[in-house]
Amino acid sequence: MCQKQCRDENGFKCHCMSESHQRQLLLASENPRKFMDSFSNEFKQDFVELLRRRFGTKRVHNNIVYNEYISHREHIHMNSTRWETLTEFTKWLGREGLCKVDETPKGWYIQYIDRDPETIRRQEELARKKKHDLDDEERSARFIEEQVRRGRGGKEEEEETPGYTELKRETEEEKVVFNLGAASSVAGPSSSLLGASALKAAASTKRKDISSSASSKEGKRKKSALEEIKEMEERRRQKREPIKTDYWLQPNIIVKVVTKKLGDRYHKKKAVVVEVNDKYTALVKMVDSGDKLKLDQNHVETVIPAPGKKVLILNGQYRLTEATLEGIHEKNFSATLTLDSGPQKGRTVENVAYEDFSKLA
């Protein structure tokens, strides 16, 4: 009632004997329900606000929230409210629909229910967006499946199963003659016999027909829809994601020492990469003094020469390709290069980053 924090037992005793305390007790005795409801409402508001602000809609143990609540010096004590225990208060929150509550072997857990219209609107928008993305994926999957089905349906031809019959002779002396040029075999003593040359010619003709038929089928064979889609996606991926590595040191290029750990003698001085070890470490030879140092790639940087000089591309799609520096774009820290080697020799490449090429020694 007095909302006073006493420092010790003696202070509390003196306060209970004071006139202000007696006056507050008389006020409380006139209408105890009013004051208890006021304290209960204030306790509930502060507790729920802390739960909303601190934990959001996460499921949390009620003791964790309560311990954080009572850590504030000016909090409302539970013994001044209508709830005698924290468990009773937790159940009340569930009955009122302010929180989702559930009991476990470890105790009671609560989860704040956010009924803010703005929050509900954002959740509905996220749900609609998620559903739209799923619909797009399903449509794409159905389209690919339809293309694959059409590709397979156009190529699969029903093959008739050949029927095999038993070879029989009417008499023991009857001769069997195979006519390779005809659709069926004729057996009988009156049938004209093929000579050896005729048999060879017929067999050769049939082999040629079979070979030409196989080659024509081979030539007519088209890629399936699935194969075309895969090739198209691969080409897009290569255009979208050029080959990039996190290491770039290469022999016979000129670099600049940027580390200050070696002192002013080597800082900002140029060197030639003599040998590269483990992709990230290089043995360099200083241009001025001829000293040899072993440096990490983080201790050096690329050197951009004047236009017309030879460079080596160290990263990207044209990695390890020699080129000529045509021009420098200072605004976007890139340059224009003309390839001097490789299958695309003579091609001009725009917007090559400074760190992706360096001057050749």
DSSP secondary structure of 116-138: -HHHHHHHHHHHHHHHHHHHHHH
pLDDT surpassing 50 at residue 225: yes
pLDDT surpassing 90 at residue 359: yes
Report the C-alpha gap between 332 and 125 in whole angstroms.
38
Three-state secondary structure call for residue 145: helix
Smallest Cα–Cα separation from 39: which of 81, 89, 74, 85? 81
Report the C-alpha gap between 272 and 254 in whole angstroms.
5
By mean pLDDT, which of 40-49, 143-152, 236-245, 279-288 is the weakest?
A: 236-245
pLDDT surpassing 60 at residue 238: no
Q: Mean pLDDT across the chain, nearest whole number?
A: 78
Its domain, for residue 129, covers 117-146
pLDDT surpassing 50 at residue 191: no
Q: What is the mean pLDDT of residues 85-89?
A: 91
Three-state secondary structure call for residue 303: coil
Q: What is the mean pLDDT of residues 67-78?
A: 84
Identify the residue with better confidence: 287 or 191. Answer: 287
Q: What is the mean pLDDT of residues 10-27?
A: 83
56 and 128 together in one domain:
no
Our CA dihedral for 241, 242, 245, 251, rounded to 10 degrees, sits at 180
259 and 351 together in one domain:
yes
Residue 186: which pLDDT band, with cuts at 50, 70 and 90?
A: very low
324 and 262 together in one domain:
yes
pLDDT surpassing 60 at residue 95: yes
Say what the pLDDT of residue 174 is.
Answer: 62
38 and 92 together in one domain:
yes
49 and 142 together in one domain:
no
Report the C-alpha gap between 149 and 349 in whole angstroms.
41
